[in-house]
Amino acid sequence: MRKKTRFLIYPLLIVGVFLVFVSSCEKDDDNGSNIPVLSTSAVTDINEDTAISGGNITSDGGATVTARGVCWSTEQIPTISDNKTTDGTGAGTFVSNISGLEPNTTYYVRAYATNGAGTGYGSAMLFTTTLEVVLPVLSTTEVTEITQTTATVKGNITDDGGATVTARGVCWSTNQNPTISNNKTTDGTGAGTFVSNISGLEPNTTYYVRAYATNSAGTGYGSTMSFTTEDDKFTDSRDGNVYKTVTIGNQVWMAENLKYLPSVNNLSEDSQDTPGYYVSDYDGTDVTAAKATANYTTYGVLYNWPAAMNACPTGWHLPSDAEWTELTDYLGGEGVAGGKLKEIGTTHWNTPNTDATNETGFTALPGGYRYDNGTFSRIGGTGGWWSAAENSADDASLRYMFYNYGLVSRYVNGKELGFSVRCLRD
């Protein structure tokens, strides 16, 4: 009986070992390979419709990797039956560019690698695309402080479009739909209100202007507004004389010597207390005859200080000493301002008319002066212009320019002397 029992147990042990052997072999394919082992790279460069990921295949499973890339879905476990990239073959690291995504959406992505045994996956990572970037929304709010050559425009960016505004300002043209390919300002970054200062305009010209803002989606515009620059001429309603005007810095000046002549004094009439009006080389009291002279036409009227104080028309005034200084400071100081203010050439200025460029358009002319001994002097060689600054009961300050210097000089002279007047807009 014992021998029979041993014989029956033996075959059972052999069968058990065989079953274990077969189960182990089922993990491999016919060539003995496994699926690849890999990891998923971090997701970077995320935009509203694209992102970058990739993977690292640390083991090909014993067989060549024939396809690799990343797969993604809005479900938590994406597979290659969902969206996928195909990024080469073989083991090692690779980069995958994901596209066709929806803005502001959460996705799950994982790397995959396929060999003869099947497809292996890295761990899943999630990311959320950014909001869709559109053009900024903005308005052109107002145009103010319009002069002959300048204007101020305000804008307001109410929505940056989902991306940082990298440039903003206003653009303008004489055409009705200006763009940034025309004239433009650049006034900072970001959303909100801003102010743009336009310069280099032509007098008496209609312009169209609108605010703009640029982000990564492009450039958006506000509504178009129009404005017309001021005329560079002024008509004195008292006598019909027409004057050119010029903007220099923040000031608007007459670009001609004043010609207002309500009466005319002969040379012997001399006073520091009552108004006196003179025309160079004319000695008489006939206004019509005085106006008919060449000196009146070219150089205007010479005024004593009481007359000068009230000579400018409504809306204009005799400049103060500080306002004259503002002008010369704006032009680089008294040492160089004269050349920038004097008419060029020697038609009206004596030779050599040093440093004259008239780059401001002020066109200073040398009307000379009426001296206190009843004579006219220095026409063509010197120009003198009163200020409203009274120095004492007997004298006041003025500015001089000379044919042989490029400077502007400040002097104090008796109120009875006659000098030219340049009016400044209020």
Question: Among 184, 196, 191, 187, which residue's Cα sits nearest to residue 165?
Answer: 191
Q: Could you tell me if 401 and 331 are in contact, meaning their C-beta atoms sit under 8 angstroms apart?
A: no
Block mean pLDDT (10 aa), the chain, length 426 = 36 31 36 90 94 98 97 97 97 98 95 97 96 93 92 97 95 96 97 96 94 96 95 92 92 96 91 93 96 98 97 97 98 97 97 96 96 92 97 96 97 96 97
Instruction: State how far the alpha carbon of 420 is from the alpha carbons of 179, 312, 363, in Å.
Output: 46, 12, 13
Task: Count CB atoms within 10 A of the CB of residue 47.
Answer: 17
| pLDDT for residue 2 | 37
Q: Which residues contact 117 (CB under 8 A, 6 or more apart)?
A: 28, 29, 33, 34, 35, 61, 62, 63
Q: Could you tell me if 372 and 354 are in contact, meaning their C-beta atoms sit under 8 angstroms apart?
A: no
| pLDDT for residue 232 | 85
Domains 37-128 and 137-228 share a fold: yes
| pLDDT for residue 31 | 56
Q: Kindly list the domain boundaries of the chain, sorted by start residue.
A: 37-128, 137-228, 234-425
Q: If you search the block for the tokens 């006939």, which residue do you land on?
A: 286
Q: DSSP character for 295?
A: H
Please state the pTM of the whole predicted model.
0.58
| pLDDT for residue 115 | 97
Instruction: State how far the alpha carbon of 43 is from the alpha carbons of 46, 55, 111, 242, in Å.
Output: 7, 10, 11, 73
Question: Among 86, 48, 47, which residue's Cα sits nearest to residue 70?
Answer: 86
| pLDDT for residue 231 | 84
Q: Could you tell me if 327 and 273 are in contact, meaning their C-beta atoms sit under 8 angstroms apart?
A: no
Q: DSSP character for 354?
A: T
CA 131-133-136 angle, to 5 degrees, is 130
Q: Which CATH number fits domain 137-228: 3.40.640.10, 3.30.390.50, 2.60.40.10, 2.40.30.10?
A: 2.60.40.10
| pLDDT for residue 6 | 38
Beta strands in 182-300 (DSSP E): 183-184, 192-198, 206-215, 218-221, 225-228, 233-235, 242-248, 251-254, 277-278
| pLDDT for residue 121 | 98
Phi, psi of 173, rounded to the nearest 5 degrees: -165, 170
Q: Bridge-partner residues for 400, per DSSP?
A: 384, 409
Q: If you search the block for the tokens 């935009």, which residue do you land on?
A: 47
User: Does domain 37-128 sit in CATH 3.40.50.300?
Assistant: no
Instruction: State how far the alpha carbon of 319 is from the alpha carbons of 10, 106, 114, 343, 425, in Å.
Output: 128, 70, 88, 20, 9
Instruction: State how far the alpha carbon of 410 is from the alpha carbons of 340, 355, 369, 373, in Å.
Output: 16, 18, 15, 22
